[in-house]
Amino acid sequence: MSPRPALLEQIGSDVVQFQDASAEFDATVGKVLALGRADLACLTQIHFGGPTPLGAVAREADVARLELAGYVQREAAGGGQRLVLTSHAREWIDTLWGPLQADGHQLMAGLPEEHLRIVAGFLKAARAIQDRHATRVARLLQEPGTSRAARQRGGLSPAALRRVQLYVEAHLAEPIRVGALAQRSGLSVFHFTRAFRQSTGMTPHVWVQQRRVERARDLLSNSSLPLGDIALAVGFSSQSHFTTVFHKLTGLTPAVIRRDQR
Looking at residue 262, what is its pLDDT?
A: 60
DSSP H or E stretch at residue 52: strand 52-53
Q: How many CB atoms lie within 10 A of CB 88?
A: 13
Is there a shared CATH topology between the 3-111 domain and the 148-260 domain? yes
CA dist 41 and 62 (Å) reads 11
Looking at residue 86, what is its pLDDT?
A: 92
Instruction: Tell me phi and psi for residue 217, to 5 degrees.
Output: -60, -40
Q: Where are the domains of the chain?
A: 3-111, 148-260
* Mean pLDDT confidence for 154-182: 90
Is the pLDDT confidence value at 107 over 60? yes
CA dist 179 and 187 (Å) reads 9
CATH number for 148-260: choose from 1.10.10.60, 3.40.190.10, 3.40.50.620, 3.50.50.60: 1.10.10.60
Looking at residue 57, what is its pLDDT?
A: 67
Rounded to an integer, what is the distance from CA 99 to the centroid of its chain? 32
Compute the radius of gyration of the chain from its Cα atoms: 27
Query: Could you report the per-residue pLDDT of 21-79, keeping only the tens digit for each?
Result: 888 888 898 888 888 877 888 888 888 888 888 777 666 667 888 888 899 898 888 77
Report residue 2's pLDDT band, with 50, 70 and 90 as the boundaries.
low
CA dist 25 and 97 (Å) reads 10
Looking at residue 147, what is its pLDDT?
A: 43
DSSP reduced 3-state for 83: strand
Cα 51 to Cα 43, 44, 54, 61, 77, distances in angstroms: 11, 11, 9, 19, 10
Looking at residue 153, what is its pLDDT?
A: 56
CA dist 201 and 207 (Å) reads 9
Percent of the chain with pLDDT over 70: 90
Report residue 253's pLDDT band, with 50, 70 and 90 as the boundaries.
very high
Return the amino acid letter for 231: A
CA dist 113 and 192 (Å) reads 58
Following DSSP, what letter does each residue of 118-137 receive, concatenated?
HHHHHHHHHHHHHHHHHHHH
DSSP reduced 3-state for 53: strand
Find the Cα–Cα–Cα–Cα dihedral 53, 59, 65, 70, rounded to 10°.
-10
DSSP3 helix / strand / coil % (the chain, rounded to 5)? 70, 5, 25
DSSP H or E stretch at residue 75: strand 72-77
Nearest to 155 by CA among 118, 192, 116, 206: 192
Architecture category of domain 3-111 in CATH? Orthogonal Bundle (1.10)
Is the pLDDT confidence value at 141 over 70? no
Average pLDDT, the chain: 85
* Mean pLDDT confidence for 217-232: 91
Q: Give the residue with greater pLDDT, 133 vs 190.
A: 190
Is the pLDDT confidence value at 14 over 50? yes
